Amino acid sequence: MCGIVGYVGKKEVVPILIDGLRRLEYRGYDSAGIALLDKGNLTVAKSKGKVELLDNSVNRSHYSGTVGIGHTRWATHGEPSVTNAHPHTDCSKSIAIVHNGIIENYLELKEKLIKEGHKFRSKTDSEVIAHLIEKYYKGNLEKAVLSSIKKLKGSYAIAVITKDEPHKVVAVKCGSPLIVGIGKEENFVASDVPAILTHTRKVIYLHDYDVVVLNEKKVQIKNIKGKNVNRRVEKITWDINAAEKGGYSHFMLKEIEEQPDVILNIIKRRIDDKRRIFFDELKLNKNDFKSIKKITIIACGTAWHAGLIGKYLIEKHARIPVEVDLSSEYRYRKPPSIKNELVIAVSQSGETADTLAALRLARHNKLKVITVCNVIGSSMVRESDSVIYTHAGPEIGVASTKAYTAQISIFYLLAVHLAFLRGVIGRNTEHKLVKEFEELPKLITRILNNKKDIESCAEKYKQASSFLYLGRNINYPTALEGALKLKEISYIHAEGCSAGEMKHGPIALVDEKLPTVCIAPKSVTYEKMLSNIQELKARCGIVVSVATERDNIIKKHSDYVIHIPKVNEDLSCILATIPLQLLAYYMAVAKGRDVDRPRNLAKSVTVE
Ligand code: M6R
């Protein structure tokens, strides 16, 4: 939930840290801070709010140093304030630490440290780390870090510096992401790749309990026993431009517009020239797929909506029963497992705490787990039996957009692939379904070309204080996703419902002030949606329909119609999502919200 960065080299460290923090801001933006080693002194600068405020408050000419650490915070313990901002220091202000995660036993540790004479300044759980390291420090920082982490319970990625060893950064990871960047006469640690990508493409994804010692010449990784370990150096192939706004006013808009390319990329990677689907990286063979008796999908938030769509697709095409669970529920409800059950974890980040815990539980119960993920080398990827990458490129906007349509695309192709492997369909049907999928980039572009129309719709209804979203069948999850997008970035209350459930309660909300977004493309449930729309109009409700082009009937009963091109019903959930993303985006912009960094949220929820 927080972002950390560390540097050791020959360059001025402040601009490197500030730039790194800006690129990690999607992880939290309640406060920001840096600590650097400056001519034998440890200097700390912090500010409440976004990194920009820290940058404005730091007079760069006053600082000079080539070793430092930085932090951008998503508050868990203690309100957003300068005192609670990281870096935190020990009593003598010789050691500074930054931390991402939660120290679950911090109260107990804090009490003990206070009894031993340590003076605490903040309300955070993280400050105990600085005092523990102080307690164990006997002239060797990595040894003190090793002793300290043995006392910690919870999740953490930590970077530490001390003025007594001014040429090194020590960092450690357990449960929260941390990478090492290897440069020429300079080395880095960071929570995520964009923070260091302008400096190096050579990256190591650390494992839990790896303790890394960086100086400008060397990167040394030890395990919890203090023994050296080797980790593979990976080369990042994507460009930093992919993680920059590139002229767009917001990452979210850029990421919405990238969706045709994301799907083209999926086509390139997953479909051969005979229109056959392949998932080469899956370590399961044909017989493994044939013997699957049940699939359980686990995910949170938007990824859970993609999972719900996955259920429709897999059950329809491959005829395998699918259960979809919120990871936070799955992990506590003691789910019974059956022989030949497969678990699919879905996550953009691969770091979401609940999904990671649910995945671990599934593996503990001896189930095979495939993770559908966007972030290469993330924790879930490392802990799964197999991975299917969505390859959507870095998603920075807190509201998930392109990762979602990429996840649905993967489910569509996987469902068709499973159907073929299990003999439910032949090559001809596979060919036909793939051909329809290949049309998507063109069709999405058509919707994007019409975004002025969606902007006008947002303008018209931006004063509404609440919205209802209705859909049926495969577009029921689309309604849930549309409502989630609207509430998270515009702060307008929104509720997504299955249209069939409307009469069982939500209809009581309908009046002349409530807009209902009805997702009603041509489909087997089209007539039913039309009835729902008429029922809404009979109660003076405002109806905004998402309908198939040239649908003249729906026009007569709606206050506003957003058109999407004609497409097979399975894929309508991808096309219908695009206008809903844009509607939420324009609504948030019209209300002056911070679209990419909505209040109280963080991109990656690495705490429970
Ligand atoms: O990284 P993940 O896909 O595991 O994240 C899951 C949710 O936290 C995420 O989808 C969240 O709901 C987004 N903010 C939605 O836009």
User: Quick check: pTM over 0.85?
Assistant: no
Band of pLDDT at residue 270, cut at 50, 70 and 90: very high
Q: Is the CB of 348 under 6 A from ligand 1?
A: yes
Ligand 1 center to residue 378 CA distance, Å? 15
* Residue to probe by mutation, ligand 1, list 27, 309, 352, 596, most atoms within 8 Å of CB: 352
Q: Which residue has the tokens 């912009």?
A: 589
State the distance from the centre of ligand 1 to the C-alpha of 248, rounded, in angstroms: 22
Report which of 77, 160, 152, 159 is spatially closest to residue 109, judged by C-alpha positions.
Answer: 152
Closest CA to 480 of 605, 300, 261: 300
Contact in structure between 222 and 211 (CB atoms under 8 Å): yes
Residues 410, 440: Cα–Cα separation, whole Å = 13
Centroid of ligand 1 to alpha carbon of 423 (angstroms): 34
Question: For ligand 1, atom 4, which residue shows the shortest CA distance?
Answer: 347
Residue 206 · residue 230 · CB < 8 Å: no
Name the DSSP letter for residue 591. Answer: T
Amino acid present at 401: T
pLDDT at position 29 is 84
Please state the rounded mean pLDDT for residues 465-481: 98
Q: What is the pLDDT of residues 157-171, one digit of tens each?
A: 999 999 999 999 999
- Give me ligand 1 centre to Cα 304, in Å: 8
In CATH terms, the fold of domain 248-438 is Rossmann fold (3.40.50)
pLDDT, residue 282, reads 83
CATH fold match for the domains 3-242 and 449-608: no
Considering the segment(s) 3-242 as one domain, its CATH architecture is 4-Layer Sandwich (3.60)
Quick check: CB of 577 below 6 Å from ligand 1? no
- Beta strands 67-73 and 3-8 are antiparallel
Token pair listed for 598: 């909505």
Q: Residue 417's pLDDT is what?
A: 95
3-state class of 98 per DSSP? strand
Is the Cβ atom of 374 under 6 angstroms away from ligand 1? no
Per-residue model confidence (pLDDT) at position 39:
83
Q: Which residues pair with 35 in a beta bridge?
A: 44, 69
Q: Residue 289's pLDDT is what?
A: 85
Helix (H), strand (E) at residue 594: none
> Binning pLDDT at 50, 70 and 90, where does residue 442 land?
very high
pLDDT, mean of residues 517-521: 98
Ligand 1 proximity of 349 Cβ (cutoff 6 Å): yes
- Given a contact cutoff of 8 angstroms between Cβ atoms, the answer to whether 454 and 582 are in contact is yes
- The rounded Cα 183 to chain-centroid distance in angstroms is 27
Whether residue 400 has its Cβ less than 6 Å from ligand 1: yes
Q: Is the CB of 271 under 6 A from ligand 1?
A: no
pLDDT at 607 (0 to 100): 75
Query: Residue 242: is its pLDDT beyond 80?
Result: no
Work out the percent of the chain whose per-residue pLDDT is above 70: 100
- Amino acid 182: pLDDT: 97
% of the chain surpassing 90 pLDDT: 86
The one-letter amino acid at 153 = K
CA–centroid distance, residue 337 to ligand 1 (Å): 26
Q: pLDDT band at 287, cuts 50/70/90?
A: confident
Among protein residues, the one with the nearest Cα to ligand 1's atom 7 is 301
- According to CATH, the topology of domain 449-608 is Rossmann fold (3.40.50)
Which amino acid type is present at position 462? Answer: K
Question: What's the whole-number average pLDDT of the chain?
Answer: 94
- Owner of token pair 């990421």: 255
pLDDT digits (tens, 9 = 90+) for 184-214: 999 999 999 999 999 999 999 999 999 999 9
Query: What is the C-alpha to C-alpha distance for residues 572 and 569, in angstroms, rounded to an integer?
Result: 5
pLDDT of 14-67, one tens digit each?
999 999 999 998 888 889 999 999 888 999 999 999 899 999 988 777 788 999
Q: Is 72 in the pocket of ligand 1 (CB under 6 A)?
A: no
Known catalytic residues?
2, 603
Read off the pLDDT band of 570 (50, 70, 90).
Answer: very high
* Residue 283 · residue 391 · CB < 8 Å: no
- Average pLDDT of span 314-324: 97
> From the CA of 187, how far away is ligand 1's center (Å)?
31
Residues 6+ apart with CB under 8 A from 464: 492, 513, 514, 515, 542
Q: Which of 494, 391, 466, 453 is nearest to 578 (CA)?
A: 453
| pLDDT value at residue 65 | 93
* Range 90-129 burial, b when 16+ CB lie within 10 A, else e: bbeebbbbbbbbbbeebeebbeebeeeebeeebebbbbbb
Tell whether the model's pLDDT for residue 365 goes beyond 80. Answer: yes
Domain regions of the chain by residue span: 3-242, 248-438, 449-608
301 lines ligand 1 (CB under 6 A): yes
**Where residue 515 falls among pLDDT bands split at 50, 70, 90?**
very high
Structure tokens at 565: 């091109």
Q: For the sheet with 88-89, list strands across it.
A: 88-89, 95-103, 154-162, 169-174, 211-214, 219-222
